[in-house]
Every structure is written in structure tokens, then in C-alpha cells.
Chain A
């Protein structure tokens, strides 16, 4: 009765052929804690509070981030700068700045709301704490260090290169929103980096080496099937 129209009894054995063929295919598994996949350039992780090139903090304590936060996880209180020892270049600075990571949903609305590009998100999401107190990051923990790198807390799993490109989302958009501004740098310099290069969108003026931009499809070519643009046949 084999053969004829429709699925025959022989097509039943197709599964055996395919599953045996797969034994010789390359493995798609990334051995996670040992090896990490590169994170997408605009991944949302824990926040950093940026500083200007001269070391001044960018935060002016306006509380817009706290107002916009849908998860109510940000607590900010501004205070007047001491004219002799100013913390930020303006009149006010963020005196208290706390983010509760038990509530944060990493939506990046605070980053969008910030008028001075003070708060941006790094790509660090691999952190776990054992107490509620540790979950609340204070201003001291969020502010970048003197080289402009995020502070590395003991319960965070930082790997080589993870602390670079901590303001990708900021550099990806043009502040005015107009297409003609694409690729134009309209933001201030950062401590340790100077003025960061704009992330290339459709603009020809892109410098992927400087912005850390990449396509996942290019990086993990060896694990993507050929018909989807990878190298796996």
C-alpha cells in the first residue's frame, strides 16, 4: 500500500533520516555562563549616571525620570549646588538618586525623559542580589567612576568589554527627531570618552568600531542557517 497520493508509509521514515542527519550538524548551544553571546548594541540593562568630561555630574535633579517611570522605581531629590564646590554645572544637582531594581522594567523611558543625557542604560542585566537593600542602587553606585566606566558591584557579572558603550540608546537617536539631523552629534561629551560618535542608522556617516554597533546576524553567522543569511548548511 506504500506510495500513491498523499503521505505514504515511506514518508514516515523521513523523520529518521532527518534526525540522524542532524547529528552531524554544528551545535547551536552557547554554553552560557562560560561563553556569552554578544549583547545587542541597544540592549537595556542597569543604569549609569554619566558625567561631563571635566568630571561634573550631568544630573540636575529635575526628577523628570522619576515622574515618567511607569514602575515607580526611581527616587530623586535635588539640592542646590554649593557655588564653591559644585557637583553639576547648573544650579541644582541630584542629591539623592535611587533606583530599585526589584521594580525597574528597563523600559528606558527615564533615558528618553532626561534633558541632560545624565541617565543612560548599560547592557548589564546579569546581576542578582540577596537582600532588598542591595536591590536599591544609590547614587554612589550608579555614577560612573573617574574613567567614565560603570562601577562594578560584587554581585554583577561584568566581562571584558561589557562596560563600554553604556549610552548606546542615546547615541542612536537624533534629539530633534528630524531625519535631517541623523548622524549629527547633538549631545554633550562624556567623562573618559569625549563626544561619542553617533550610531549609524541609515546615515552613511557611521563608525561601527567607535560605537560598538553590530548586527547579530553578522556576529553569530556560524549558528544561523544558510537560508537565513548564516553559514550553517
Chain B
């Protein structure tokens, strides 16, 4: 099911609509970044008993604009030992995917303007959600090459951390997306949204059990390098992380991409698990309600992101890896089996679920016994097992 706009071939009007859609999405995304940075700073200062930005413009709304302008006029430094070409390329490798991912997000329903019916999303490729995974992998290159090409140690350490982290959590991201695809019978984001459209209890968050949503949300937070997974830029350890050597407009691009990805990932969570623009509408202004629902849900998730940042301390690197590889990937694999079984029949689902639980318990017990045995031979207390190990997270 593709965009009905192209059903009758290409002509000038179709081109115009496409160009307008691209421009509107571009503008909306840039504005949303401005607002998101303001929103994050305001909400986090709410949670820290502060006022937050309030000098530039009404309620400090223009603070980001002021900061951006300042960044643009700063000196653009290029480290002597940097690889010049890659150093200049890296910010664009980060920022372009950030823009492109948003193109597959359905922001509204299907509308008809001047006899042209089209979907309110920039593009609806049949591979939709794979496009998201592909681009979020490209974004890893931006981070990795930025650190590598800086020719200094902190950025390199930051980028090594970041790329390892992003690649690990991409596995979870992919597995949870597979569950969504299994349930929605389609890769296109529009078909994923329409398959959830009937009622709120048909949203994937409920249909798939809450676990895939939780896994996806945690993995996407890790993928975004946002707290509590912001080891890539851990200020207290690495200076600024992979963008330590960047300044001026190139730094602004990283910053832009980071917040754009935050907005986009919240939009993707809404698309995959919360029915996208789905929600009760009214007869007047029929086209507006889906957009409002989509925006409202996205803002709710953005609030959640900020809340998480305010509430949780940063993970240690081994905890991060343990959480990813020892808890989230096994759980998502197991849950994928259960979903696959559920598509066959309820009996299969139950059997696989029971099998998974027994397997997980046996595995946990085996690991615990092994750890205890090793601790007793080394003469260490049992408390020395790593936090976030199998005893701590998940079943």
C-alpha cells in the first residue's frame, strides 16, 4: 500500500505537493528541535526547583535560537592531527540520517487537497521501518568517525563507547521491530499504523504485551545516547565525548542531530506501539485531529525522556553492556518466539512462554551458582558480582 498521491502518475501538482511536504517536514523538525531543547531545559529545571531559561523571548522560548546564533558565530576549529575530510564529513553523517528518519513517520491521516489525495508523511516506502534501522546504523558512523578523525584520545574513547553501545542496542531495536512487523503484516509505517487503528486496545503496546514496548523504549534511549545511557559523552569522564574537538557550526550539527533524534525516536515509538496519529476525532476539521493526537503522544514521550534524565543516574559501562546483552537481547528473543507462537495459536504461545520462563530460571540459577562457586574459591563476598547481572534485571 503506497501513497495514493502517486496512483495517477507524476505531474506538476504532485511534484508541488511532494516539495511542500518535504519543506513542511524540514521546517517542523527544525522548529521541534528548538522547542525540544527549550522543553527539556524547562522540564528539567521544574524537577530541580529551578526556573530555567526565561530571558530570551516569552518564557525563554528563543533561548535555543540565541545559543544557536552564538555557536554559528564562533571560530570553527580544526585540530592539527585531525583527518580533515572525515572530520568535516562526520557531523553530516549524523545530521542527515536524523532528518531522513523523520520522513517515514506518519504524522497524520490521509487528506484530500484540490482533488489530490495523499498521506501526511513525507515518504511511505514499502520498506518503511527497515529504512529506520538502516539509517540509525548510518548514524553510528557519524559518531564513530567523529571520534576517530579528531586525532585525540577523549573523543576516540567516547566514540568507541558510543559505537559499541549503539550497535549492541540496535540488536534489541531490530528484534522488537520484528515483533511489530509480525503483528502488523507489513514493513511500511503507514500499514503499521493502520493495523492498529481500530481501537486503543489494538495498539501494538497492548497487542504485543507491554514488554516489546519497554524493550524498544529502553533500546531507543540507549541508541540516542541519552541519559541514563549517555556514556558516549560522559562529561565527568571524557570531556565532551566524541564531539570534544568540535566547535562552532559542526558542534551545533551534532547537538541538532541529538535532539532531532530524540524527537524522531519518540515519534517512532508512537508509530510502532501507540497507533501513531490514531485517536478519537470529531467531524469538524477532520484532518487536524490525527495530527494533534500524534503530536500529543510524541510530547508525552518527550516528557518521559526528560523525566528519565532527571531521575536516573548514568550506568557504568559494564552495567550497560550487561543490560544489553544479558538481559534485553535474551528477553527480546524469547518474547519474539512467544509472539511468533501466538500468531499460530494460543497454545503455542503459552507453551513457548512456559518454556522460556523455565529456561530463563534455569539459566539464572546456573549463572548464580557458578558465580557463587567462583566467589567462594576466590574468597570474595557474593556482593562483588556485577550490578545489573542476571540476579538483578529481568527473570
Residues on A facing B (Cβ under 8 Å): 1, 9, 12, 15-16, 18-20, 22-23, 25-29, 31
Residues of A within 8 A of B46 (CB): 22-23
Looking at the complex, which one of B49, B312, B392 makes contact with A1 (CB distance below 8 Å)? B392
Q: Is there contact, CB below 8 Å, between A27 and B50?
A: yes
Residues of the B chain whose Cβ atoms lie less than 8 Å from the Cβ of A15? 310-313
Q: Point out the residue from A9, A16, A20, A28 that lies within 8 Å of B50, measured CB to CB.
A: A28
B47 beta carbon closer than 8 Å to chain A: yes
- Residues of chain B within 8 A (CB-CB) of A26 are 49
Are B307 and A19 in contact (CB-based, < 8 A)? yes
Interface size class of B (residues with CB under 8 A): 10 to 19
Closest residue of B by beta carbon distance from A28: B49
Chain A to chain B contacts (Cβ below 8 Å), 11 pairs: A1-B391, A1-B392, A1-B393, A1-B394, A15-B311, A18-B311, A19-B310, A23-B46, A27-B50, A28-B49, A31-B51
Contact surface of B with A, Cβ cutoff 8 Å: 46-51, 54, 307-308, 310-313, 391-395
- Please name the 5 residue pairs, one residue from A and one from B, whose CB atoms are nearest each other, closest first: A15-B311, A19-B310, A19-B47, A29-B51, A16-B311
Q: Are B49 and A19 in contact (CB under 8 A)?
A: no
B312 x A22 contact (CB < 8 A): no
Query: When chains A and B are docked, how far (Å) is the Cα of A16 from the Cα of B49?
Result: 15
**Given A28-B50, A29-B50, 7 new contacts (CB under 8 A):** A15-B310, A16-B307, A18-B311, A20-B47, A26-B49, A28-B49, A29-B49
Q: Indicate if the CB atoms of B51 and A9 lie closer than 8 Å.
A: no
Residues on A with beta carbons closer than 8 Å to the beta carbon of B307? 16, 19-20
Q: Is the CB of B49 within 8 A of A27?
A: yes
Give the chain A neighbours of B308 by CB distance below 8 A: 16
- A12 to B51 alpha-carbon distance, docked (Å): 27
B49 & A25 in contact (Cβ 8 Å cutoff)? yes
CA gap between A18 and B48 in the complex, in Å: 10
In the complex, what residue of chain B is closest to A5 when comparing beta carbons? B383
When distances are taken between beta carbons in the complex, the residues of chain B under 8 Å from A18 are 311
Is B51 in contact with A23, judged by CB distance below 8 angstroms? Answer: no
Residue of A nearest to B310 (CB): A19
